[in-house]
Amino acid sequence: MSVLPIGETDRALLDFGQALASNPNYSKAYYNRGNAYSRQGQSDQAIADYSMALKLNPNYAKAYFNRGNAYLEKGERDRAEADLAKARVLDPELFNRP
């Protein structure tokens, strides 16, 4: 996940929303907005944004990883396992990072 100072997620959501309004094909903005939603405990919105990031960039390992974790939070184990497996194929080192 990207690092957001505590209390800054609302501002981040606005900023990423503005970035997407001017460039709706910016996969990293969807990914980062998904991180902000995830930080707020809004798993459904996070999953939607990670999914958009993946639609735009199907090889975005971090988006698979974070979407998999969001699915885990919702108890959707099969979907989580599929995403985490895809993330591992795309970037095995992702699982070794702190």
At residue 6, the pLDDT reads 56
- Burial status of residue 40 (CB atoms within 10 A of its CB: 0-12, 13-18, 19 or more): middle
Q: Are 81 and 68 in contact (CB under 8 A)?
A: yes
CB atoms within 10 A of CB 4: 15
Average pLDDT over residues 56-72: 98
Average pLDDT over residues 69-94: 97
At residue 7, the pLDDT reads 67
Average pLDDT over residues 35-54: 96
Distance CA 49, CA 45 (A): 6
What are phi and psi for residue 24, nearest 5 degrees?
-70, 0
pTM: 0.88
Binning pLDDT at 50, 70 and 90, where does residue 4 land? Answer: low
Q: What is the pLDDT of residues 26-41, one digit of tens each?
A: 999 999 999 999 999 9
Q: What is the pLDDT of residues 73-82, one digit of tens each?
A: 999 999 999 9
Instruction: For Cα atoms 69, 35, 65, give the angle at the middle one, nearest 5 degrees.
Output: 35
CATH topology of domain 9-96: 1.25.40
